[in-house]
Amino acid sequence: MSDGNKKVVLAYSGGLDTSVMIRWLKEEYGLETVAVLVDVGRATGLEELRQKALDIGAVEARVIDAREEFADDFLAPALAANALYEGKYPLVSALSRPLISRILVEAARETGAVAVAHGCTAKGNDQVRFDLGIRALDPSLEILAPAREWGLTRQQAMEYAAEHGIPVPLKKESPYSIDENLWGRAIECGPLEDPWREPPEDVFEVTTAPEKAPDEPAYIEVEFAAGVPVALDGRTLLLHELAAAVDDLAGAHGFGRLDMVENRLVGIKSREVYEAPGALALIMAHRDLEDLVLPRELTHFKAGLEQKFADMAYNGGWYDPLMDAIRAFMDSTQQRVSGTVRLKLFKGGCSVAGRKSPMALYEHGLATYGSDDDFSHEAAKGFCELWGLPLEVWAKKNE
Ligand code: ARG
């Protein structure tokens, strides 16, 4: 392990592939590995994994607790944009990749590394997000993605590990490929590759099966300040704590499972299963509060940009100047998004049961059908006359 050797910063997860990579990068590329394990939530056994990287031969191994940064810099903007790819998927993995890219690039600068490596395969979206993220932040760094090139099957990777004294997971390998963080869990592969087959119960970890969820509903209250959730049931929390708490509560009631066929950027349709109770509940609450406080035209226009935001994030464009511009728009809409939303959780469902805000544009006097009505009924006749005028002219010409 000579200090004079060139270094590579590896996005290390502790799993089989990135463990093998520490040795592979040395043997095939002559590079010493600085292993960087980023905690974006839901991670366990980090110190053991750090030690494992050193045992395998990394010259340095770092664990970075990035949960707060992840929540503040990525989840808050995603929530402001009610971001759901294809109207469903809350971008769990897509949001963590630009943050991990940023942390890798910082580590490369600090350690003088010439390259950055990640463990993504050629068929997924994550390689795109890492590659674009790293290139946007430091175009001088070389990007290595050994799993995109080595063509090792699971079995061959295990054999390589055994030959090189790399510890392999002892318990039977799960058939699933899982990526998880504060915003949810993504589960792929194995029996899920048959889109007709219902996901086996063992893919789920944070959601109770709806049929086994409690028979009594639960209510939670989420308070927002300028678009960001700041308190849960009256308790002030940091965003990453609040997201985790809502995740637990909503998941316990069986809410938050998604089963979808998704269009990947690389052209493949893939069957994806997610559990994201916290993300989906918070997006539902946030969107509902916006309906209460934002004017009609703004809400309608924003919906189009929300979709663009989700596509940009999904497709690896977090650091694209268009994304900066969209985020500036989103920010400008959030100043008035303050108030409280009450959610009802029951048997796999989550629904909004109430909302209130000092910024509400809802006016009882305008909305009511009761005696205290102060809407101008006289004006309505003329309004309809003029609003329908072009249609009437058209209809007469086409009689
Ligand atoms: N299909 C999702 C996405 O592209 C989930 C990816 C999960 N990643 C993984 N390495 N298992 O965002």
Q: Is the pLDDT of residue 1 over 80?
A: no
User: Cα 56 from chain centroid?
Assistant: 31
Q: Is the pLDDT of residue 172 over 80?
A: no
Residue 3 confidence (pLDDT): 52
In a domain, 320, yes or no: no
Last residue of a domain, one of 131, 155, 178: 178
Task: Please report the DSSP string for 345-369 in residue order.
Answer: EETTEEEEEEEE-TT----HHHH--
Q: Residue 334: CB partners within 8 Å, gap ≥ 6?
A: 80, 226, 227, 228
H or E stretch covering 63: strand 60-65
Mutate to test the pocket of ligand 1, among 17, 38, 118, 125 (most ligand atoms within 8 A of CB): 125
202 is catalytic: no
Query: Is the CB of 125 within 6 Å of ligand 1?
Result: yes
Q: Are 247 and 241 in contact (CB under 8 A)?
A: no
Residue 170 confidence (pLDDT): 63
At 322-350, the pLDDT tens digits run 999 999 999 999 999 999 999 999 999 99
- Residue 339 corresponds to which tokens in the numbers above? 């108030």
- Give the relative orientation of helices 321-334 and 296-314 as an angle to the nearest 10 degrees: 140
CA-closest residue to ligand 1 atom 4: 125
Amino acid at residue number 47 = E
Beta-strand relationship, 142-144 and 218-225: unpaired
What residues make up the domain containing 166? 7-178
What is the CB neighbour count within 10 angstroms for residue 127?
22
Measured CA to CA in angstroms, residue 288 lies from 59, 278, 349 at distances of: 50, 15, 16
Give me the CATH number covering residue 69: 3.40.50.620
User: Cα 81 from chain centroid?
Assistant: 12
H or E stretch covering 47: helix 46-56
Looking up tokens 């095939």, which residue turns up? Answer: 28
Q: Are 125 and 132 in contact (CB under 8 A)?
A: no
What is the CB neighbour count within 10 angstroms for residue 25?
22
**Ligand 1 center to 264 CA (angstroms):** 9
Q: Are 126 and 315 in contact (CB under 8 A)?
A: no
Return the SS3 of 45: coil
In a domain, 198, yes or no: no
101 is catalytic: no
In a domain, 83, yes or no: yes
**Ligand 1 center to 186 CA (angstroms):** 6
Quick one: which atom of ligand 1 is closest to the CA of 120? 10
Q: Is the pLDDT of residue 246 over 70?
A: yes
In a domain, 132, yes or no: yes
Q: Is the pLDDT of residue 2 over 70?
A: no
Q: In this structure, what are the phi and psi dihedrals at residue 363, rounded to the nearest 5 degrees?
A: -120, 120
In a domain, 193, yes or no: no
Is residue 3 exposed (0-12), middle (13-18) or buried (19+ Cβ within 10 Å)?
exposed
What is the CB neighbour count within 10 angstroms for residue 283?
18
Last residue of a domain, one of 129, 147, 178: 178
Quick one: which atom of ligand 1 is closest to the CA of 189? 11
What is the CB neighbour count within 10 angstroms for residue 235?
12
Quick one: which atom of ligand 1 is closest to the CA of 178? 11
Query: Is the CB of 262 within 6 Å of ligand 1?
Result: yes
In a domain, 18, yes or no: yes
Q: Are 79 and 227 in contact (CB under 8 A)?
A: yes
Last residue of a domain, one of 158, 178, 198: 178
Q: Are 50 and 62 in contact (CB under 8 A)?
A: yes
At 43-101, the pLDDT tens digits run 999 999 999 999 999 999 999 999 999 999 999 999 999 999 999 999 999 999 999 99
Length of the chain measured in residues: 399
In a domain, 289, yes or no: no
Beta-strand relationship, 349-356 and 339-346: antiparallel
Q: Residue 390: CB partners within 8 Å, gap ≥ 6?
A: none
In a domain, 76, yes or no: yes
- CA–CA dist 39, 36 (Å, integer): 10
Residue 168 confidence (pLDDT): 77
Give the DSSP letter of residue 67: H
pTM for the model: 0.96
Q: State how many domains the chain has.
A: 2
- CA–CA dist 282, 292 (Å, integer): 15
At 261-291, the pLDDT tens digits run 999 999 999 999 999 999 999 999 999 999 9
Average pLDDT, the chain: 96
Query: Is the CB of 179 within 6 Å of ligand 1?
Result: yes
Amino acid at residue number 396 = K
327 is catalytic: no
